[in-house]
Chains A and B, each alone.
Chain A
Amino acid sequence: DQQVKQNSPSLSVQEGRISILNCDYTNSMFDYFLWYKKYPAEGPTFLISISSIKDKNEDGRFTVFLNKSAKHLSLHIVPSQPGDSAVYFCAASAPNTGNQFYFGTGTSLTVIP
């Protein structure tokens, strides 16, 4: 059973525009969320995180929004750059699962120059 879902396998955006990647989860006990970025032939690397006590966390061009009532989080990239083209995974953890991270299936972002 997939507890973290990324329903868009791919997304294409023009350079300079906003990229919005979405993630939904089912476990209401999840209290910590992360986004990882993965380039081809490389392992995922940590991008940004958010705790359930917040609804927004910003780091430069990257902002993560959390809507707990909707069990939804999103990653905004503004402005998008060609170097942002990668696969983005969202992940979530909960204290009652030993804080194991559950990953989504990923969204492949292509930023068109």
Chain B
Amino acid sequence: DAGVIQSPRHEVTEMGQEVTLRCKPISGHDYLFWYRQTMMRGLELLIYFNNNVPIDDSGMPEDRFSAKMPNASFSTLKIQPSEPRDSAVYFCASSLAPFNEKLFFGSGTQLSVL
């Protein structure tokens, strides 16, 4: 299995622009998670899906953030408009069960908003 695939690996954009991060979970995993890693707060859960349905989006910082999962093999995290404080590494993870230790993380997207 190829594992969780995220794209792009790096994204540099200017403040105010729209940013879309993409994720392909491991086939057969029912749960998909979006995390954000910062130096100050570590790994924060933004939102998670079960069978393509958003279950908990309480970690989404602002209305500028949105996430979708149109099918079992694809999810997007969108930031519109982006701000410099959104600069972080964004990870997608999938698992067979919610918050199971067997969370499989992608390699992350390093986002820099100038």
Contact = CB atoms under 8 A, between A and B. Distances in A.
A49 interface: yes
Main secondary structure of the interface of B (DSSP, over half): loop
Contact of A43 (B4, B40, B41, B45): B4
A99 interface: yes
Contacts of A45: 105
B34 to A, nearest CB: 12
Interface stretch (A11-19, A61-69, A78-86, A102-110): A102-110
A103 B56 contact: no
Contacts of B35: 103
Interface string B81-114: 0000000000101000011011111111000000
Given A43-B105, A45-B105, A105 B41 contact: yes
Interface in A82-113: 89, 91, 93, 98-101, 103-106
Contacts of A4: 42
Name the interface size band of chain A.
Answer: 20 to 34
B2 interface: no
Contact of A105 (B42, B103, B104): B42
A106 B99 contact: no
23 contacts: A6-B42, A34-B101, A41-B108, A42-B107, A43-B4, A43-B91, A43-B93, A43-B105, A43-B107, A44-B91, A44-B103, A45-B105, A46-B101, A46-B102, A91-B43, A93-B99, A98-B56, A99-B99, A100-B56, A103-B43, A104-B42, A105-B39, A106-B42
Interface of B: 4, 9, 35, 39-45, 56, 91, 93, 98-99, 101-108
